[in-house]
A and B are shown apart, each in its own frame.
Chain A
Amino acid sequence: MDDTKRYERLLSRYKNGDINRRTFLTVLGAAGAAAGIIGGPMGMLVKSAKAATPEQVRFDGWGGVVSEAFEKYAFEPYTKKTGIKVVSGTFGGADEYLARVKSSQPGEFNLAHLSGVFDYARYHGLGLSSELNEANIPNLKTVITSLIEPLRKISDGKLSAVPYDYGTTGIAYNRKHISDDEARAKGAKLMIDDAYKGKIGGWAEWKTRIWYGALQSDQDPNNIGDMEAVWDMIRKNRDLVLKYWTSGAELMSLLAEEEIYVTEGWSGRIRALQDQGHDIGYYDPKGGLGWQECIFVLKGSPMAACEELLNFMLEPEVAIAVAEGQFYPPALDPKKVELGKIIPTLPAFDPSGTLDGLSFFDPAYWNKNEAEWSKKFSRVQRGY
């Protein structure tokens, strides 16, 4: 029996409920290891066929609980099944990662857990996109269509990434100091409320700051008419802010230690705080910011190996396990895939699978203004 058949049989037993998730992953790992040990002489026969198989692929992500979930539920089983090692790296943001990719040779970086359609468009615009053979990723059929289509539009109908999860950047507040009613009544304007001066935080990312500045000045973030009003709101927020945070870990620390009472925050990180027992409320205001994350394959990568990893990562069992680990709903369509009991309780989860209630960055609009706005935000946040 070859590896694929063994894997399919195992998966079938798991789907039938004969074994639980932990046993499934353990047996999968053991099967992979056993194949590695006894497969030596037999492996010689297929050596030529494996010559084109890379020894490793590189995956870069956000670190923290997200990377741990990927490592545990996706990479280890994948390596045991295929023999291809997944070298896992982390980055602090898509900008930082792009700087690294830009200074590297094609093929040095392979897969990345990138944020949003905006980054997909930017990477594609810089000629860093690849072209996936969708026939090698049958699980792509289970992904929410409204998450795939924006990517297709950017890359002429082709795909260079698969959507993997989605979330929102909503308002996180400490319930000891701010009630649910107050958060809902004030919405995005809670973060320009003088009453909380010195207890407000914010993500030090120009796009998010401008998005919330637009909401605070009652404008459509994807079609801003009065940009000066937005800058004024950002300045007002800046003067009340204690700290602009730069990572999810810092966001969690600031809220958990009660250094700040209110900030915008990432839905999954806030859920992680809630699960740790912190009384943190979370609310997506009207026009709140939704985003998707995708697994992007960079130009020059070993495509077949990357496509196999993508398909593996989109297996419902793996995607759900990762989603439960990182607290962001998977990109799998709940109308096509049974997502279990925990996923529907995650913040930002959309049971309809349409994501109609969320607003996303319009990549064309934001990319067009990126150079000017990112530079200006650098000044505004420093008091200009």
Chain B
Amino acid sequence: MAAGVARAQKHAPWILLSPSLVTIGFLLIIPMMFIVVYSFWLRTATGADQVGFYLDNWQEVLSDRFYRDILLQTLKIAFFTTIICAVVGYIPAYFVANTKMRSKTFLLIMLMLPFWISYIIRTMSWINILGTSGAINGLLLWVGIIDSPLNMLYNQTTVILGLVHYLLPFMILNVYVSLEGIDKNLTEAAESLGCNGFQAFREVTLPLSFPGLAAGSLLCFVLASGTYITPLILGGPRDAMFANLVFEAIITQLNWPLGSALSLVLLVLLGALVVIYTRYLGVDQIAKSFR
């Protein structure tokens, strides 16, 4: 009897976890295994896949300068996007967290508003703003500052701009949650000990909000690194990101094995980043902003 109870208690966690494990297994692990298996197949000249264990795709992806350069370009774009999101996003997050206005809920809803509009539509809106006959050129021409429209679209800057527009709410929400959790007495204590407002912010608020800033940065970096729509819509011929190569390998070239190897490279790289983050800051900080 006692042995049976002990055995049941021993297995209880697994039984309770089983729905989650089955879901994760079917929706994440098994599809991922398919991708891993695919990456070792070969695409033949006829377009059919040759089943087997071939290292050709991996050899190509890991040794070819083309893939390395595009990967570095992707990381560079994601890095600058993240930095801009952190700097630009901190200000509204700080304002919302510290406002005495009664309409704080309204401000938070405003932050969520962009999520209700399609990402593609939001990205395309920049064409109407920055285009030759867009709002900015129209205004500058009307005021007489310029004689002919400026070419502002389809370059790396517009790609970063589009990504910042897409990812800024993620950063603001993470920082806001972190700022909300800071005990206001700590800032007041710092000021009572002689700090001015800026010093109190630098010595108390900023360090304590760092986990939120880091969580937002991680989200922004990972999402920016995996995007392909923004460079497709707002980029020029040379502004591709790594996900565009995955798209092309799978959709245009029908080379699923190579596309699988490419997507796994990106997955491993970003996964490593998440592991490092979790090791030092804990992944629960990201979850807080969605509670």
Contacts and interface: CB of A to CB of B under 8 A. Distances in A.
Contacts of B250: 99
A101 to B, nearest CB: 11
A95 B255 CA distance: 11
Interface of B is mostly: loop
B236 A243 contact: yes
Nearest to A240: B237
Interface residues of A, number: 32
A384 B237 contact: no
Contact of A198 (B45, B151, B238, B248): B151
B251 interface: yes
B133 A374 contact: no
Contacts of A379: 66
A125 interface: yes
Interface string A61-101: 00000000000000000000000000000000101101100
B159 interface: no
Given A125-B46, A238-B237, A242-B151, A99 B131 contact: no
Contacts of B256: 102
B129 interface: no
Interface string A334-376: 0000000000000000000000000000000000101100110
Interface of B: 43, 45-48, 66, 70, 127, 131-133, 151, 153-154, 232, 236-238, 240, 245, 248, 250-256
B248 A258 contact: no
Contacts of A253: 127
A5 interface: no
B254 A241 contact: no
A246 B47 CA distance: 23
B167 to A, nearest CB: 23
A278 B252 CA distance: 32
A335 to B, nearest CB: 38
Contacts of B237: 238, 241, 243-244, 381-383
A228 interface: no
A179 interface: no
26 contacts: A93-B252, A95-B253, A95-B254, A96-B251, A122-B47, A125-B47, A198-B151, A206-B252, A242-B151, A242-B154, A243-B153, A257-B127, A257-B133, A259-B132, A259-B153, A259-B154, A368-B45, A371-B47, A371-B253, A371-B255, A374-B253, A375-B253, A378-B245, A381-B237, A381-B238, A382-B70
Contact of A99 (B43, B127, B232, B251): B251
A125 B238 CA distance: 33
A255 to B, nearest CB: 11
Q: Which are the 10 A-B pairs with shortest beta-carbon distances?
A: A243-B154, A383-B238, A95-B252, A96-B251, A374-B253, A99-B251, A257-B133, A259-B132, A381-B237, A238-B237
A102 B255 CA distance: 12
Contacts of B43: 371
A99 to B, nearest CB: 5
Given A93-B252, A382-B237, 15 more contacts: A95-B251, A99-B250, A102-B254, A198-B151, A238-B237, A241-B237, A246-B232, A371-B43, A374-B253, A375-B253, A375-B255, A378-B245, A378-B253, A381-B238, A383-B237
A241 B46 CA distance: 32
Contacts of A384: 66
Contacts of B45: 368, 371
Interface string A238-262: 1001111010000001000111000
B51 to A, nearest CB: 15
A126 B127 contact: no
A96 B48 CA distance: 16
A381 B236 CA distance: 10
Contacts of A374: 252-253
Interface centre among B70, B132, B133, B237 (most CB of A within 10 A): B237
Interface in A152-186: none
A258 B133 contact: yes
B252 A378 contact: yes
A125 B47 CA distance: 8
B35 to A, nearest CB: 12
Contact of A98 (B151, B153, B154, B254): B254
A102 B46 CA distance: 14
A293 to B, nearest CB: 19
Contacts of B248: 378
Nearest to B252: A95
Contacts of A370: 47
Contacts of A378: 245, 248, 252-253
Nearest to A243: B154
